[in-house]
Amino acid sequence: MTKLPAILSRLDADLEASLARLSSWLEIPSISTDSAYAGDSRRAAEWLAKDLESLGFEAALAETPGHPIVLAHRPKPGAPHVLFYGHYDVQPVDPLNLWDSEPFKPVVKEIAPGRRVIVARGACDDKGQVMTFIEALRATLAETGDLPVGVTVMVEGEEESGSVNLPAFVRENAAALKADVALVCDTGMWDRETPAITASLRGMVYQEVTVTCADRDLHSGLFGGAAANPIHVLAKIVAQLHDETGRITIPGFYDGVEEPTNQQKADWADLNLTEDEFLGQIGLKHSIGEKGRMLIEQIQSRPTCDVNGIWGGYTGEGTKTVIASQASAKISFRLVGKQDPQKIGEAFQAFVRERLPGDVTASFTAHGASPAIAVPAESPALAAARAALTEEWGRKAVTIGSGGSIPVVGDFKRLLGIDTLLVGFGLDDDRVHSPNEKYDLSSFHKGQRSWARILEALGAMKAGR
């Protein structure tokens, strides 16, 4: 007889304790991109390894040239095997003054009658989401002494900085990571009541460029009018990345981008996502996206280019009359379809070099490149998850596309030959990557219950590993 009702009741009874566990993990500031937090990243990894060990997993930290990876196994011969992936690293917290509470002092708040949320950096992305899965494991083990499937847990600490060390790790540990399917809890729901399975993710190319003019910073009164100004050069190049219709002008950029089918267009039109609804929530009214494309198309299935940061010269208080020697920018591209991350990185660099005036040089740092992902529309794991989610939420689980990126999903397919099931419980108003990040307790709690159901449903699948 199924023990599922008992497992679900245990999760209900254990909610406050699970929240306390999540809070203690959230207190560790594991900001991957800032090396000042490297020690904290390791502590966050150790915290999770210890928790998994307490569940009877064989858990260890795997070293990489960057932050360690938490790797834990609990095999079950003869049963299907799942590889769960998440990330313990979080985004930087700046601007700090916009937080209502401290980012690494989690607080539970009621933001509307009956709607409780936990606020902290990483509350949703991705510690809260990872813990939905771990809590489901904990309750299932406590109630049954076993799991319905074999489980490998791999939680990395560099996702928010492009997962640069992960492909090599996956390649070198392919045998240990082999599974029937990968599970990822790092995506969102359709809305607060409607669960979703994500079927597509955009890819990502992230480049940093530094333009150098004179061999030193100059007095703008002495040299202004003659010496090249790297901020002007960079700003002009950045301004040329888009044309007036919102298209990206890098030659070959759109190679591999597919046009939507009529069916896809009709589905999008049915969803009727309006500028008011989508941009209204962030204080905007008008999309700056490509002309002639539906809003939902612009944010899910069209490639984009964004300058994420730009700097150079004097930015302190007051004035300084200077012509800087260097100016830099961090620029990211979201990719779709079959766009080739390698080629796009190279095409971007060529685009910049071709526009440099004489005397001016540019240097580049590549911060990771990953392709867009489309998961097959049907598979036994997908069907199992869909049924389990529908059961838990009392609403049909919908299939959605996402504009975000999770670099490892492409590596799972390419290096391990397995598909990924993307199930997450984030909401559009979670403020991920922004001040006051939160996770609804309904997502946290029903997310745990969802995974308990999904694990049981996956246990009934045929093992094929």
Q: Provide the binding-site residues for ligand BES, judged by CB under 6 A.
A: 125-126, 159-160, 162, 186-188, 204, 368, 402, 404-407
404 binds, among ligand BES, Zn ion, none (CB under 5 to 8 A by kind): ligand BES
447 binds, among ligand BES, Zn ion, none (CB under 5 to 8 A by kind): none
Minimum CB distance to Zn ion smaller for 204 or for 211:
204
Three-state DSSP string of the chain:
CCCHHHHHHHHHHCHHHHHHHHHHHHCCCCECCCHHHHHHHHHHHHHHHHHHHHCCCEEEEECCCCCCEEEEEECCCCCCEEEEEEECCECCCCCHHHCCCCCCCCEEEEEECCEEEEECCCCCCCHHHHHHHHHHHHHHHHHHCCCCCEEEEEEECCHHHCCCCHHHHHHHCHHHHCCCEEEECCCECCECCECEEEEEECEEEEEEEEEECCCCCEEHHHHCCCCCCHHHHHHHHHHCCECCCCCECCCCCCCCCCCCCHHHHHHHHHHCCCHHHHHHCCCCCCCCCCCCCCHHHHHHCCCEEEEEEEEECCCCCCCCCEECCEEEEEEEEEECCCCCHHHHHHHHHHHHHHCCCCCCEEEEEEEEEECCEECCCCCHHHHHHHHHHHHHHCCCCEEEECCCCCCHHHHHHHHHCCCEEEECCECCCCCCCCCCCEEEHHHHHHHHHHHHHHHHHHHCCCCCC
Q: Which residue is at the shortest CB distance from ligand BES? A: 404
Minimum CB distance to ligand BES smaller for 170 or for 323:
170
66 binds, among Zn ion, ligand BES, none (CB under 5 to 8 A by kind): none
List of residues contacting Zn ion (CB under 5 A):
125-126, 186
Minimum CB distance to Zn ion smaller for 40 or for 126:
126
For the CB of residue 26, give the shortest distance to ligand BES in the complex, in Å.
15
For the CB of residue 29, give the shortest distance to Zn ion in the complex, in Å.
16
Minimum CB distance to ligand BES smaller for 404 or for 410:
404
For the CB of residue 186, give the shortest distance to ligand BES in the complex, in Å.
4
Minimum CB distance to ligand BES smaller for 250 or for 432:
432
For the CB of residue 159, give the shortest distance to ligand BES in the complex, in Å.
5
Minimum CB distance to Zn ion smaller for 125 or for 392:
125
For the CB of residue 368, give the shortest distance to ligand BES in the complex, in Å.
6
For the CB of residue 16, give the shortest distance to ligand BES in the complex, in Å.
26
402 binds, among Zn ion, ligand BES, none (CB under 5 to 8 A by kind): ligand BES
218 binds, among ligand BES, Zn ion, none (CB under 5 to 8 A by kind): none
Minimum CB distance to ligand BES smaller for 187 or for 328:
187
Minimum CB distance to ligand BES smaller for 124 or for 347:
124
For the CB of residue 415, give the shortest distance to Zn ion in the complex, in Å.
20
For the CB of residue 128, give the shortest distance to Zn ion in the complex, in Å.
10
188 binds, among Zn ion, ligand BES, none (CB under 5 to 8 A by kind): ligand BES
